[in-house]
Amino acid sequence: MPEPQKAQRAQTTWSDRLREQLAAEGITPSAHREAIDEIAAHLDDLHGAALRAGRSAAEAEAAIDAELARMGSLAVAVAERAKRKQQRSAEPGRWTSGLAADLRHAVRSLHRNGASPRSSS
């Protein structure tokens, strides 16, 4: 199980990599902090899953590269995310989708830090 500090460092590394890629695509990374954090958490989860499945560090990195290639342009991905978020916030009664996203993030964070969302009865 990775230590919380190592998980935080890995996520920071993914965040830095995403910021660099966005900057290379001509996008100001600071304007998309939430999207970067969300994608970095996804990449960290993917990397951790690859390692837990017995893959080498190089294979886990290759899985990250493949996922980034599958996503295509990060500039397009963050723009689409911002557009969806704006549409959701404009729709009345859609507060539950934000709650669901918050809950998914909380579960990922607990899982990454070694806690289990299930009780141990």
More confident residue, 71 or 63: 63
Residues 6+ apart with CB under 8 A from 110: 116, 117
For 36-63, b where at least 16 C-beta lie within 10 A, e where not — what string? bebbbbebbebbbebeeeeeeeeebeeb
**What confidence tens digit (pLDDT) does each residue in 32-60 have?**
888 888 888 899 999 999 999 999 999 99
When comparing pLDDT for 100 and 79, which is higher?
79
3-state SS of 3-38 is CHHHHHHHHHHHHHHHHHHHHHCCCCHHHHHHHHHH
Q: What is the mean pLDDT of residues 22-34?
A: 85
Kindly list the domain boundaries of the chain, sorted by start residue: 4-112
